[in-house]
């Protein structure tokens, strides 16, 4: 995991022109790292890569969203939200983000997917695509006073329900429109 001030976090990543055979394993490793760090998203440059690739998995999803060459194509509205980053551990800040976004990317099979998002997914899409362009959430702080150190206190374990190994209902990743490239 790369942390500020590692210069790779400020580098623009390169578009993937051909999906290599190891991309499935590469993104699976990214998802594993994201889970180990308790994040909802991870960009390739956060783990030392310079490919335009990111993964996102909201807490209620069973499966992650794998995005190759993601780009935001439309933004609507503006809101102030609290945000953190695995590359800036121990800190949070208030940033300006869009209320809704439309994005497009390729999936692992090279198919074009289009995503309409709001809320946390819109925020994660903006955050991860920013990473891939060398931009950090601290570049969007609403003021100098809107950045603070946090202390970590682990959540108490939740009781497991019978027949459910994680004690929570899981939902699928959002349905996205897929088109052939």
Q: Is the peptide bond before 5 cis (omega within 30 degrees of 0)?
A: yes
| Residues acting as catalytic residues | 128
Strands (E) across 84-123 are located at 91-97, 100-106, 112-118
Dist CA 43 CA 61 (whole Å): 18
Q: Which residues pair with 80 in a beta bridge?
A: 96
Q: What are phi and psi of 12, to 5 degrees?
A: -75, 135
Alpha-carbon torsion 155, 168, 124, 39, what sign? Answer: positive
| Contact between 111 and 181 (Cβ < 8 Å) | yes
- Please report the DSSP string for 127-181 in residue order: HHHHHHTT--GGGGBSSGGGEEE----PPPPPPPPTT-SSSS--BPPPP-EEE--
Q: Report the alpha-carbon distance of residue 71 to residue 69 in Å, rounded.
A: 7
């Amino acid at each position: 995991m790369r942390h500020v001030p590692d210069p790779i976090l400020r580098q623009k990543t390169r578009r993937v022109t051909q999906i290599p055979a190891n991309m499935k394993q590469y993104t699976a490793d990214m998802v594993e790292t994201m889970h180990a760090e308790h994040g909802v998203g991870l960009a390739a440059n956060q783990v030392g890569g310079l490919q335009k690739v990111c993964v996102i998995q909201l807490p209620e999803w069973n499966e992650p969203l794998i995005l190759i060459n993601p780009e935001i194509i439309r933004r609507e509205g503006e809101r102030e939200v609290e945000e953190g980053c695995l590359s800036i551990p121990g800190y949070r800040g208030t940033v300006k983000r869009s209320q809704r976004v439309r994005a497009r990317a390729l999936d692992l099979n090279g198919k074009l997917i289009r995503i309409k998002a709001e809320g946390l997914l819109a925020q994660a899409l903006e955050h991860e695509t920013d990473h891939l362009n060398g931009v950090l959430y601290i570049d969007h702080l609403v003021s100098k006073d809107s950045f603070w150190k946090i202390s970590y206190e682990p959540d108490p374990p939740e009781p497991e329900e019978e027949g459910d190994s994680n004690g929570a209902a899981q939902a699928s990743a959002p349905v996205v429109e897929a088109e052939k490239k």
